[in-house]
Structure 1
Amino acid sequence: MYTEAKKLHLIEEVLKIKSDITLDAVENFLKHAVKSVKKNKKESSFSEFSGIWSKGEASEIEQIITESCEIINPDDWK
């Protein structure tokens, strides 16, 4: 029964989404996840997420990581 409650909760959360961009992202994620699971159930769960970002989104995330996460401030270790 937990699975059914989880599904209902997800549906409720999706119904609250007002942004078309967010809805498109959720839809694309679900399509890709279903394809990945059907394609090869023996693959790791990580493979379900591979390729879900567009090239632009991947580039943006890479830039954000480069600008913020890869900077070492020597004074932070003191």
Structure 2
Amino acid sequence: MEHPVHPFTELFEQLGLPADEASIKAFIERHAPLSREIPLHQAPFWNEAQSEFLHEALDEDADWAEVVDHLDASLRKG
């Protein structure tokens, strides 16, 4: 079964965050670089629901996994 591709903006909407390009860029700039020792879902800036969503997306290899990996990579750059 083919997984749907979710755009980066849709992930931010799913997380309840502003999803316009400027807001996404500002979010990443504000929180990067995230230490390699901290799993993405355990970063201190997520609320409980966001953390759970991110963890499940990767743990279950859900259709969100690819875009969550993109977010993880974006936050690790610094």
TM-score, L = length of structure 1: 0.30
* Larger Rg belongs to: 1
TM-score, L = length of structure 2: 0.30
Instruction: Select the structure that is richer in helix.
Output: 1
